[in-house]
Amino acid sequence: MTTLTAPARPHPGYEQHSPGYRRVRIALFAAGIATFAQLYATQAVLPTLSGALHVDAAHTALTVSCATGALALSVFGWSALADRYGRVPVMVVSLVVATLLGLALPLAGGIWPMLALRTLQGAALGGLPAVAMAFLAEEVAARQVAQAAAVYVAGTSLGGLGGRILSGISVDLSGSWQLGVLTVSAASVLAAVVFCVAVPPARGFVPARLRTGAAAPRTSLARRLRTALSDRALLALYAQALLLMGAFVTIYNYLGFRLLDRPFSLTQTVVGLLFLVYVFGTVSASAAGRLVAATSRFTVLAGSGALFVLGCLLTAASALPVVLLGLVLLTVGFFTAHAVASGWVGSIAPRPVRAQASALYTFAYYAGSSVLGWLGGTAFEAAGWTAVVAVTAGVGVLAVAVAALVLRRAGAAGSMNA
């Protein structure tokens, strides 16, 4: 019978304040910036793209959904490659290829070439988020994983912020969505270089091994995926990613359309600057590790989910300050929940399937972004912003309910640090 082995950890992991720990943090922070700046490069300029390409809001949002959907589907292949060739080579190839595709985006002359390039770029970007948490769990001391994961998530927040602001301002100044996207790609080149220079050689990676037996080696990936899908706590964490990310992207995909219209009538630059709210997400993600240490993973996850729901509801207001407050609250709630849930997956997944558990979390995360992000557009086209608020708040409530039903009991049973 074929079984997976779990070899002893080659080294105990980088401790806090060590040079290796600092390099890991810097590298993954930069990688988070490069990945998310490119993944959501078109989100801030969706209204401009809609006019330039002569398509409605839901179809324009496909420039985001195609990229995130392709990323979701690609993570399993990337995780298999990472198990064979190592985490660092996979992350390097992922960023380099995705950045080259990003530089080609301004050449797209219509919606279909744009969607094709965005699909390829999303698939290329999948290599980094597919294995980043597994890399952290192998290279960083166990007690530092939550804090290091929070830094990576903070980088994703800053990348999302920077990409959206850069593209929004560039488009408003030039009137060209091509220049907006190119500006983001150029900044991503710099972040990718920082990652490639800073990332230390892997010391904790051990290739997956199979004992000889009846099953063929090619079945190993399917077996590892089944194992990563067999734990209720992991399934609940995957659900957090799918639900909260889907609702979060829906808000940001379509809020710009609402704020450019009456009664707000904001400019594209001002709408782009609203993504400065991501700073609050960066800070909250960085603080998530300290909050977990002071309370528990479950408490922080459930509380941040509730905060997300409140923020969604506040965006229904007709007063701009209240809408902005709601945006801040839902952003803080989302990034805190994501930092906790993603680190939680890496901590409880068995070592032989850690990459697959990370990939499944990533798949759920981007599947939510792709599917719910697009469905939110149909709700917006049919019934306006009220429908978007109803959908996103309802999804947030469901995420909190799943956490309460599964993760609290799992923690009480001692299967994880809750």
Q: What are the pLDDT digits (tens) for 189-213? A: 999 999 999 999 888 777 765 333 4
Q: What DSSP assignment string belongs to 353-396?
A: GHHHHHHHHHHHHHHHHHHHHHHHHHHHHHH-HHHHHHHHHHHH
Average pLDDT score, the chain: 84
CA 341 distance to own-chain centroid:
11
Residue 396 to residue 333: CA distance in whole angstroms: 10
How many H-runs (helices) and E-runs (strands) does the chain carry? Answer: 18, 0
Per-residue pLDDT tens digits for 63-86: 988 998 998 888 888 888 888 888
Higher-confidence residue: 267 or 331? 331
Average pLDDT over residues 288-297: 85
Distances in Å between the Cα of 37 and the Cα atoms of 155, 302, 321 are 10, 28, 26
CATH fold, domain 19-204+217-412, is Growth Hormone; Chain: A; (1.20.1250)
The pLDDT value given to residue 109: 78
The more confidently predicted of residues 234 and 409 is 234
- Quickly state the pLDDT bin for 215 (edges 50, 70, 90): very low
Q: How far apart are CA 243 and CA 392, in angstroms?
A: 9
Chain mean position to CA 230: 23
The pLDDT score that the predictor gives to residue 296 is 87
Give the per-residue pLDDT at 209: 52
Mean pLDDT of 220-232: 81
pTM of the model: 0.74
The reported pLDDT for the residue numbered 12 is 66
Q: Check whether 347 has a pLDDT greater than 60.
A: yes
Tell me what pLDDT residue 226 has.
84
Q: What is the pLDDT of residues 9-22, one digit of tens each?
A: 556 667 777 888 89
Residue 354 has pLDDT above 80, yes or no: no
pLDDT at residue 4 tops 50 = no
What local confidence, expressed as pLDDT, does residue 208 receive? 60
| Residue reference for tokens 């965005």 | 118
Q: Which token pair is 3? A: 């079984």
Rounded Cα distance between 388 and 379, Å, is 6
| Six-digit token string for 382 | 């049919």
pLDDT top residue among 411 and 308: 308
| For the chain, domain boundaries | 19-204+217-412
- SS3 (DSSP) at 235: helix
> In which residue are the tokens 């219509």 written?
110
Distance, in Å, from the CA atom of 314 to the CA atom of 331, rounded to the nearest integer, reads 12
How far are the Cα atoms of 72, 143, 238, 316, 402 from residue 396, in angstroms, in the given order? 21, 29, 14, 15, 10
Structure tokens belonging to residue 14: 């980088």
Q: Are 32 and 155 in contact (CB under 8 A)?
A: yes
Chain center to CA of 346: 15
Is residue 111 pLDDT above 70, yes or no? yes
